[in-house]
């Protein structure tokens, strides 16, 4: 009986296997990882597309033959056209055919129809909640038909501001930064540039008014301008529609901004206080960085607002912008401190030198490193000089001299000249209301990895990062390499902490916090790269390394040189990169982009422990070069050459 049942089960398994084989034969497992269906792409003329298929299958896309890696991954870089564009993918193996179509959307030719005059809804600026002060230059803008005429009336002053059409110009950043260099000045095709944005600027006069209202006006081209407009027909072709109806357009139309701007008067400037010690002061709303890692408790006057961005006064000659979540509004009775700095002194420690500046309040500050000059400049905003004393610690051999100067009232500058350009890092903070600036010494007596503590950061976690053709995620590849790097460093006797050792979510800004908490000596963030749309991945790929602060550049250079020597990959260059994880100042910090996820051969290699170990060994070798001073010597030579010495 048992034998009979066993035979029946065996027969059933055989039948199921046959069905599975038939089902498998009918499918070639054709998968497209990028781009996604209906994905919006920038104005480009070519785009990469990649995915996977059954190994040994033949593949074509839009009748272009595409190579397939032995593991099934494939990558193509093909021409595309504006509007809705279809990638028609066809795979074939042993007479079995599988086809898929992916539709993407690229900017189509903008069409300008001169049968009605209008302003584009939502295009007027300022349109968000805006606060301004006397003397502020207010940028005005709106969109309408191109080649028209425009002005703005500012109430209650009844001032008329002429507005002109902005020149359409847009450099393709992706190719400029990540391309091979030969096309770095490539412009978006003129036929795809959007015209019809009118801009102007208004300087707010002194007034007792509490708010402003901007009333925009646009009127059609004159008869004299028609001939000039017709000159663009050769370029824009079918984009210019119903030009002959221009003379029938209404003479003028007008519209107002959604909200009026509020005026802040000098005697009613609110005071704000920073609440987070990773606050960033920027040069404009969402723009570049001016001051990083500002301590909590710093105060400043609020002198403007643009949506969620707060404009703060750093001095009478300098302002900055912070996000509203970084600060709280204080009661009107709270003041912003002002310091007259009388003395500076240094205190030597085994691993650092502390420069103590006798402030009487917490001020925003900015730090500039100058490797060539072997100096560090510290600017304190809201402080003036009354300096009589600078005391040096005789046991300190890092600081050569300290000078101060007052570039403008309200900005106090301290210039610290060093005996070496090899510093480990620095840290600015307040003890009470006294400003401390610690310069960490380069550990000349340490040349072995076993004497250092490392924090290794596998990039991404909850977000997958880049994805390879066969589905390998960057977060996994990063973790595989980080584990191998940890093993390699520990074999050398180092202490190593991983910011994550699984798929648990780890927020971006928690990663440098871990490094600070663990008192790390060296921070290395592990990543694998991807390209922006429009950049050719067959030409532009390889290994690269990033730094943010000048004192981290020698480590980045040494590790990149080692990766370039040991990996069979292109040298994709080393970079300055504005990444959150490498912005901390207290230690050398770099970010490594080991390989490219979208390249089938590189994705396949990243799956193997052999390649993961190879990357780890190359990074360790680069760190050794850095610690032994070879990289430093080479760095010094490069600096001398670059400055013509």
pLDDT in tens, 538-573: 999 999 999 999 999 999 999 999 999 999 999 999
Task: Identify the pLDDT of residue 226.
Answer: 80
Higher pLDDT, 241 or 291: 291
pLDDT band at 208; cut points 50, 70, 90: confident
More confident residue, 437 or 194: 437
Give Cα separations from 404 to 340, 379, 421 (angstroms): 13, 10, 20
Given a contact cutoff of 8 angstroms between Cβ atoms, the answer to whether 241 and 114 are in contact is yes
**What is the model's pLDDT at position 232?**
73
pLDDT at 248 over 60: yes
Task: Check: CB of residue 218 under 8 Å from CB of residue 164.
Answer: no
Backbone dihedral angles phi then psi of residue 27, each to the nearest 5 degrees: -125, 135
Whole-angstrom distance, CA of residue 459 vs CA of residue 476: 9
- Given a cut of 70, is residue 26 above it in pLDDT? no
Query: Is 0.85 topped by the overall pTM?
Result: yes
* Tens-place pLDDT, residues 595-604: 999 999 999 9
Q: How far is CA 434 from the centre of its chain?
A: 33
Q: CA 84 to CA 104: how far, in whole Å?
A: 6
Q: How high is the pLDDT of residue 9?
A: 52
Q: For residues 268-286, give the mean pLDDT.
A: 92
- Whether the per-residue pLDDT at 257 is higher than 50: the answer is yes
Please say if the pLDDT value at position 644 is more than 50: no
Q: Does the pLDDT value for residue 253 go beyond 60?
A: yes
pLDDT at 308 over 80: yes
**What's the pLDDT at 187?**
53
Task: Retrieve residue 559's tokens.
Answer: 């590790």
Return the pLDDT at 385.
96
pLDDT digits (tens, 9 = 90+) for 8-17: 555 555 544 5
The pLDDT assigned to 631 comes to 44
- How sure is the predictor about 189, in pLDDT bands with cuts at 50, 70 and 90? low
Given a cut of 80, is residue 20 above it in pLDDT? no
Query: What's the per-residue H, E or C state across 85-148?
Result: EEEEEEEEECCEEEEEEEEEEECCCCCEECCCCCCCCCCCECCCCEEECCCCEEEEEEECCCCC
> What is the share, in percent, of the chain residues with pLDDT greater than 70?
89
pLDDT for position 8: 53
For 568-592, the DSSP string reads SS-EEEEEE---GGG--SSS-EEEE
Q: What is the mean pLDDT of the chain?
A: 89
pLDDT at residue 642 is higher than 50: no
Least confident range of 23-32, 485-494, 506-515: 23-32
HSE, side-chain direction, 13 A CA sphere, residue 209: 19
Least Cα distance to 292 among 549, 587, 508 occurs for 549
| CB contact set of 388 (below 8 Å; sequence gap of 6+) | 342, 343
CA-nearest of 89, 87, 106 to 39 is 106
pLDDT tens sequence across 513-536: 999 999 999 999 999 999 999 899
Whether the pLDDT of residue 610 is over 90: the answer is yes
pLDDT bucket at 362, cuts 50 / 70 / 90: very high
Residue 78 in this model has a pLDDT that exceeds 70: yes
pLDDT score of 19: 46
The confidence score (pLDDT) of residue 251 equals 84
Reported confidence tier of residue 303, pLDDT bands at 50, 70, 90: very high
**Please, are residues 581 and 278 in contact by the beta-carbon 8 Å criterion?**
no
Buried b / exposed e across 278-312, counting CB within 10 Å, b at 16+? bbbbbeebeeeebbbbbbeebbbbbbbbbeebbbb
Residue 399 has pLDDT above 90, yes or no: yes
Tens of pLDDT, residue by residue over 408-467, are 999 999 999 999 988 999 999 999 999 999 999 988 766 789 999 999 999 999 899 999
In tens, the pLDDT along 79-109 reads 999 999 999 999 999 999 999 999 999 988 7
pLDDT, residue 405, reads: 95
pLDDT band (50, 70, 90) for residue 21:
very low
pLDDT of residue 254: 83
For the residues 28-54, what does the mean pLDDT come to? 94
Strand bridging mode 271-274 / 299-306: antiparallel
**What is the band of 173 on the pLDDT scale with cuts at 50, 70, 90?**
low
């Amino acid at each position: 009986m048992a034998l009979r049942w066993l035979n029946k089960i065996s027969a059933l398994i055989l039948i199921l296997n046959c069905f599975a084989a038939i089902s498998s034969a009918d499918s070639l497992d054709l998968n497209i990882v990028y781009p996604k269906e209906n994905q919006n792409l920038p104005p480009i003329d070519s785009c990469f597309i990649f995915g996977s298929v059954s190994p040994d299958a033949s593949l074509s896309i839009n009748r272009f033959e595409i190579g397939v890696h032995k593991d099934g991954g494939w990558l193509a870089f093909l021409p595309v056209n504006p509007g809705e564009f279809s990638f028609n993918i066809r795979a074939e193996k042993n007479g079995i055919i599988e086809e898929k179509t992916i539709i993407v959307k690229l900017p189509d030719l903008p069409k300008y129809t001169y049968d009605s005059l209008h302003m584009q809804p939502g295009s007027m600026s300022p349109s968000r909640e805006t606060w301004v002060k006397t003397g502020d230059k207010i940028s005005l803008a709106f969109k309408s038909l191109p080649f028209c005429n425009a002005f703005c009336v500012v109430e209650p002053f009844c001032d008329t501001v002429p507005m002109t059409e902005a020149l359409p110009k847009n450099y393709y950043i992706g190719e400029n930064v990540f391309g091979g260099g030969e096309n770095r000045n490539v412009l978006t095709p003129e036929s795809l540039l959007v015209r019809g944005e009118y801009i102007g600027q208004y300087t707010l006069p002194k007034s007792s008014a509490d708010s402003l209202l901007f009333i925009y006006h646009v009127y059609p081209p004159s008869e004299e301008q028609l001939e000039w407009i017709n000159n663009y027909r050769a370029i824009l072709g079918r984009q210019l529609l119903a030009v002959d109806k221009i003379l029938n357009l209404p003479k003028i139309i007008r519209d107002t901004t959604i909200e009026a701007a509020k005026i802040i008067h000098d005697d009613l400037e609110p005071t704000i206080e920073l609440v987070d010690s990773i606050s960033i002061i920027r040069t404009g709303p969402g723009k570049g960085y001016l001051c990083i890692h500002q301590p909590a408790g710093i105060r400043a006057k609020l002198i403007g607002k643009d949506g969620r961005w707060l404009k703060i006064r750093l001095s009478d000659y300098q302002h900055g912008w912070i996000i509203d979540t970084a600060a709280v509004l204080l009661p009107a009775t709270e003041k912003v401190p002002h310091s007259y700095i009388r003395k500076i002194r240094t205190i030597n420690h085994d691993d650092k030198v502390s420069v103590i500046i006798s402030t009487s309040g917490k001020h925003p500050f900015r730090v500039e490193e100058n490797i060539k000059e072997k100096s560090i400049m510290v600017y304190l905003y809201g402080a003036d000089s009354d300096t009589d004393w600078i005391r040096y610690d005789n046991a300190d051999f890092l600081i050569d001299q300290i000078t101060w100067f007052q570039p403008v009232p309200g900005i106090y500058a301290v210039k610290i000249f060093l005996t070496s350009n090899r510093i480990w890092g620095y840290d600015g903070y307040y003890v009470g209301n006294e400003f401390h600036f610690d310069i960490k010494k380069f550990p000349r007596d340490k040349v072995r990895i076993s004497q250092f503590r490392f924090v290794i950061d596998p990039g991404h976690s909850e977000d997958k990062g880049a994805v390879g053709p066969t589905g390998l995620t960057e977060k996994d590849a990063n973790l595989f390499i980080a584990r191998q790097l940890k093993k390699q460093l520990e074999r050398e006797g180092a202490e190593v902490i991983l910011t994550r050792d699984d798929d648990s979510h780890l927020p971006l800004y928690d990663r440098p916090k871990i490094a600070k908490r663990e008192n790390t000596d060296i921070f290395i963030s592990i990543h694998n790269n991807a390209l922006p749309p429009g950049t050719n991945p067959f030409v532009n790929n390889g290994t690269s390394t990033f730094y943010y602060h000048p004192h981290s550049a020698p480590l980045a250079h040494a590790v990149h040189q080692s990766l370039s020597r040991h990996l069979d990959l292109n040298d994709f260059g080393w970079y300055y990169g504005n990444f959150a994880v490498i912005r901390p100042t207290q230690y050398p910090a770099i970010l490594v982009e080991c390989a490219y996820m979208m390249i089938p051969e590189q994705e396949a290699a990243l799956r193997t422990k052999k390649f993961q170990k190879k990357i780890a060994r190359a990074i360790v070798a680069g760190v050794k070069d850095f610690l032994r001073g070879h990289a430093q010597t080479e760095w010094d030579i490069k600096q001398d050459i670059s400055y013509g010495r």
